Structure 1
Amino acid sequence: MLNKLYYPAVFSVEGEDGFGIRFPNFPDCAVSGDSMETGYERASRVLGEILEGLETAGDMIPKPSMPQEIALQKGEFVVVIEFDMLEYKKRTRSKAVKKTLSIPSWLNEEATAVGVNFSQILQDGLLRVLNEKSC
């Protein structure tokens, strides 16, 4: 899965400051917010839950609709929700897992002597590779 995805959400005004939000790509999903900021944050969180659920189940992630092709009712407007799967996973799946790996003994001795944090180096390297692969 690509790290960054952009899905259109249809916002509709509810009351003085509130918004109802629906996703054309996910018809069974709707959220609301009492401000634009809250609505956007909730929409992003729900989008993450949907996409993670699809990914976990091995289901296909639908291609986002084109905003200009969405039929709108009076009082509705489209907001594109940016979703970063890598950032979402960092926030929601931060449980550490143990990995066993092998390096040459001389490299281990040199790195240990200067206080290298092996776990941090591996995490940084993996993130760099994942970011390069998603571009």
Structure 2
Amino acid sequence: MATVYFPAIIERGPEGFGVFFPDLPGCVSAGDTVNEAAINAEEALNGHLSVMAEYGDPIPDPSELNAVEVNADCDVVARILVRGERPGKAVRVQISLEDGLLARIDRVASNRSRFLADAARAKLAMAD
């Protein structure tokens, strides 16, 4: 995975603050405060990038923050860069697992590889 920084716009809304990514239509987040909205934006970005990669959608290169144009009717509170992880290409690996553990994984996971990758990401996030 490669770290990328996508520009995001935080706007004032009727019930808090919304975040949208001009380079990634449909990628949005929100929060009760500007700080909360900015923090939630990273989770939204990484989820969006993962889904794009899963479906084989091309992930665009991020625009320069100062090059992003916003509609005049948007109540912009802040322009920020949000860190994301651009998923890399999948690499086939061979691992060994105890058969009972593998059976338990198969009972709860529709996709073994995705399950193991998600578990690894969660554990690595705890280590950061």
Alignment TM-score, normalising by the size of structure 2: 0.58
Say which of 94, 99, 103 aligns to 2:95.
99
For 1:21, what is the secondary structure of its paired residue? Answer: strand
> How many Å separate the matches in 2 of 1:60 and 1:85?
11
> What residue in structure 1 maps to residue 2 of structure 2?
3
SS of 2:45's equivalent in the other structure is helix
Letter of the 2:85 counterpart: D
Off by >3 Å, runs of 4+ in structure 1: none
Which residue does 1:78 correspond to in 2?
79
Question: CA deviation digits over 1:82-121, x for unaligned, max 9?
Answer: 12358xxxxxxxxxx9715xxxxxxxxxxxxxxxxxxxxx
Q: Secondary structure at the match of 2:58?
A: coil
| Unpaired stretches in structure 2, ≥5 consecutive residues | 88-92, 97-119
- Cα–Cα, structure 1 residues 65 and 85, in superposed 2: closer, same or farther, change >3 Å? closer
- The AA in structure 2 aligned to 1:82 is R
Q: Does 1:36 align with 2:37?
A: no
CA apart distance, 1:14: 2.9
| Equivalent residue pairs, number | 90
Q: Report the Cα offset of residue 19 of structure 1.
A: 1.3
Give the match's secondary structure for 1:42.
Answer: helix
Instruction: Write 1 or 2 for the structure with the bigger share of helix.
Output: 1
Which structure has the greater CA radius of gyration?
Answer: 1
Label 1:85 to 1:37 Cα distance change in 2 as closer, same or farther (>3 A). Answer: farther
